Amino acid sequence: MTKTKTAEMTAAAETVRGNIPLLQKSGEHYLDNAATALMPQTVLQAVANYNAETRANVGRGLHNFAEAADEQFAQARATVAAALSAKNDEIVFTSGATAGLNLLANALGQTVAKNGAVALSLGEHHSNIVPWQIAARRGGFAIRFFRLAPNGAADLEEARRIIRGASVVAVAHAYNVSGAVNDISALAQIAKENGAKFVVDGAQYIPHGFAAPEKLGADFYVFSGHKCYAPNGIGVLWGRKKSLAELPDAIGGGGSITEVCEKGFSAAEPPRRLEAGTPPISQTAGLAAAIAWMQNIPQAAKENARNLAQSAREELAKIPGARVLFSGGGENAPNVPIVSFVVEGAHPHDCCQILAERGVAVRGGHHCAQPLMRALGISGCVRASFAPYNNDKDLRALVAAAKEAAHILRR
Please tell me which residue in 228, 261, 352, 368 is annotated as part of the active site: 368
Active site residue 261: no
Non-local CB neighbours of 374 within 8 Å, separated by 6+ positions: none
Q: Dihedral sign, CA of 227, 231, 233, 234?
A: negative
Give start-end residues of each CATH 3.90.1150.10 domain in the chain.
3-30+298-409
* C-alpha–C-alpha distance, residues 202 and 387, integer Å: 16
**The predicted structure's pLDDT at residue 200:** 98
Pairing state between β 264-267 and 257-261:
antiparallel
**The predicted structure's pLDDT at residue 18:** 96
Give start-end residues of each CATH 3.40.640.10 domain in the chain.
45-294
178: closest CA among 50, 57, 328, 317? 328
**The predicted structure's pLDDT at residue 334:** 83
CA 82 to chain centre: 18
Fold of 3-30+298-409: Aspartate Aminotransferase, domain 1 (3.90.1150)
**The predicted structure's pLDDT at residue 96:** 97
**The predicted structure's pLDDT at residue 110:** 96
**The predicted structure's pLDDT at residue 15:** 96
Residue type at 345? G
Contacts 24+ apart (CB under 8 A), 155-163: 156/183, 156/186, 156/187, 156/190, 159/119, 159/121, 159/187, 159/190, 160/190, 162/119, 163/119, 163/190, 163/191, 163/194, 163/196
pLDDT along the chain (411 residues), means of 10: 87 96 93 98 97 90 91 97 98 98 98 96 98 97 96 96 98 98 98 98 97 98 98 98 93 83 85 90 97 97 96 97 82 83 96 98 98 97 98 98 95 66
Pseudo-torsion of CA 145, 97, 105, 183, nearest 10°? -40
Domain covering 45-294 in this structure, CATH number: 3.40.640.10
**The predicted structure's pLDDT at residue 256:** 83
**The predicted structure's pLDDT at residue 146:** 98
CA distances in angstroms from 317 to 17, 132, 165, 307, listed in the order given: 28, 36, 41, 16
